[in-house]
């Protein structure tokens, strides 16, 4: 499907939802995590939607793919931070599962997008 803007892309919409959920989730983390987990997970979480948007804005397929791969890498990094936050009991089981499921959906959609573009190149 052809989109006129990145905001129309379901994968970008879900990635933006992820960034917002992570922001809200980290609002209650201890101050000692401001320059640790809080900044790390917010940065990687926001990077997912940012890389999707930047990839959308690129003309050449190879450039698009690079940014979509970067988005996927940021998504994996976000999941790693989420696992850590859950293991040290900053995040509840329910919060962990909700965000993990969203990450899984985004991962699947990013892979579909990457595979579709790879076939075209």
Question: Which residue segment(s) compose the domain that 107 sits in?
Answer: 6-120
Single pTM value for the model: 0.94
Q: In this predicted model, what pLDDT tens digit does every residue of 16-36 receive, in sequence order?
A: 999 999 999 999 998 999 889
Q: How many domains does the chain have?
A: 1
Q: Is the pLDDT of residue 83 over 80?
A: yes
Q: Is residue 44 part of a domain?
A: yes
> Could you tell me which of 81, 67, 84, 82 has the C-alpha nearest to residue 11?
67
Q: Is residue 61 part of a domain?
A: yes
**Inter-CA distances, 22 with 31, 112, 113, Å:** 16, 24, 24
Q: Is the pLDDT of residue 6 over 80?
A: yes
CA gap 118, 102 in Å, rounded: 24
N residues, the chain: 121
Q: Is residue 39 part of a domain?
A: yes
Q: In this predicted model, what pLDDT tens digit does every residue of 63-80 receive, in sequence order?
A: 999 999 999 999 999 999
Q: Is residue 73 part of a domain?
A: yes
Backbone dihedral angles phi then psi of residue 29, each to the nearest 5 degrees: -70, 155
Mean pLDDT in residue range 93-114: 98
Q: Is residue 106 part of a domain?
A: yes
Contact 32, 59 (CB under 8 A): no
Q: Is residue 98 part of a domain?
A: yes
CATH code: domain of residue 62: 1.20.1440.60
Q: Is residue 1 part of a domain?
A: no
Comparing 2 with 31, the larger pLDDT belongs to 31
């Amino acid at each position: 499907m052809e989109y006129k803007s990145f905001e129309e892309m379901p994968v970008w919409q879900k990635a933006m939802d992820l960034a917002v959920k992570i922001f809200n989730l980290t609002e209650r983390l201890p101050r000692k995590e401001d320059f640790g987990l809080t900044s790390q997970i917010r940065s990687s979480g926001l990077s997912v939607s940012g890389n999707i948007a930047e990839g959308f804005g690129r003309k050449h397929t190879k450039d698009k793919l690079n940014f979509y791969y970067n988005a996927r890498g940021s998504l994996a990094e976000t999941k790693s931070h989420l696992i850590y936050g859950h293991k040290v009991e900053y995040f509840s089981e329910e919060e962990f599962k909700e965000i993990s499921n969203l990450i899984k959906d985004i991962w699947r959609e990013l892979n579909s997008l990457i595979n579709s573009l790879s076939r075209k190149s």
